[in-house]
Amino acid sequence: MKTSVRRGTVRAAVGLGAVGFAVAGALAVAGPAAAHVTVNPGDATAGERARVDFRVPTESETESTVAVEVHFPEDPPISSVSVGKVPGWSAEVAYRELDEPIEGGHGEQITEVVESITWTADDPGAEIQPGEFGEFPVGLGPLPEADQLFFPTLQTYSDDEVVRWIEEPQGDVEPEFPAPSLTLAAAGAPEGEGTAGGGEADTSGDAPADTAADSDSDSDSGAGMWLGLGGLVAGLAGLAVGGVALARSRSGAGSS
């Protein structure tokens, strides 16, 4: 399928505002296994918009990252993006035209979709140095109906080496250079779906356990109260009997 590409430099994002460039020296301690290009957060909802960061670490011990090129899925495609501002970097969004229009979420006809976003370091001081990572914010959406989206990414170092993060999982085998991915939840899924012990509580028959426990507690409390009152009455009666006996004893002693 032939496509045409329209390119344009993006200087700022609508609604995202200025987003600082993140670096982390602790990444060098994390080890190579954790140093993949990733999408953060890694999940979103189909049919809705999402704000994500493409997080790019520099694995090289001597070279810095000078360019990042993220390719968007072809099927299903994403029709709209907005790019967050990253100090010292410029962004270029490329679009491709479709052979046949597709219908958008509001019934509109979509004739072009996002092909890629390329970030390039304009200032050497903004390059991602060894032991650091950079974050490139993007607003996506509306997201298509799919279980998972992959974003093959090319990372270019200052010595012109290109690392291709383009591999998708094959069975249980973990790719050496995995493509960043975004997992999508179905739109309108029940809030409690998928939680442990799912299903509705049984409200038929006996009262729920907590209600029964409260009833037992109330019953025990009532019984204790009556026992206490009974003891108090018995004690008062005993005092009265003792008082009468004492009075009779003193009266007898006085007459003799």
Task: Kindly indicate the confidence band of residue 35, based on its pLDDT and cuts at 50, 70 and 90.
Answer: confident
What is the DSSP track for 191-227? TTTT-TT-S----SSSPPHHHHHHHHHHHHHHHHHHH
Q: Does the structure show a pLDDT above 80 at 184?
A: yes
**Chain segment 80-98, per-residue pLDDT in tens:** 999 999 999 999 999 999 9
In contact, 92 and 136? CB cutoff 8 Å: no
**Residue 176: is it exposed, middle or buried by C-beta count within 10 angstroms (0-12/13-18/19+)?**
exposed
pTM, entire model: 0.65
**Chain segment 193-244, per-residue pLDDT in tens:** 433 333 333 333 343 444 444 444 444 445 454 445 455 545 555 555 455 4
Span 111-133, average pLDDT = 97
pLDDT of residue 94: 98
Q: Which two tokens stand for residue 197?
A: 């012990």
Span 2-25, average pLDDT = 43
Give the up-direction half-sphere exposure of residue 73: CA atoms within 13 A in the CB hemisphere.
Answer: 19
Distance (Å, whole) CA 182 – CA 189: 18
Distance (Å, whole) CA 239 – CA 234: 9
Q: Which tops the pLDDT comparison, 106 or 123? A: 123
In this prediction, what percent of the chain has a pLDDT beyond 90? 52
Distance (Å, whole) CA 161 – CA 84: 26
pLDDT of residue 141: 87
pLDDT of residue 82: 97
pLDDT of residue 206: 43
**Chain segment 36-60, per-residue pLDDT in tens:** 999 999 999 999 999 999 999 999 9
pLDDT of residue 201: 35
Task: Kindly indicate the confidence band of residue 185, based on its pLDDT and cuts at 50, 70 and 90.
Answer: very high
Q: Return the DSSP state at 170.
A: B
Residues in the chain: 256
> 118 by DSSP, 3-state: which?
strand
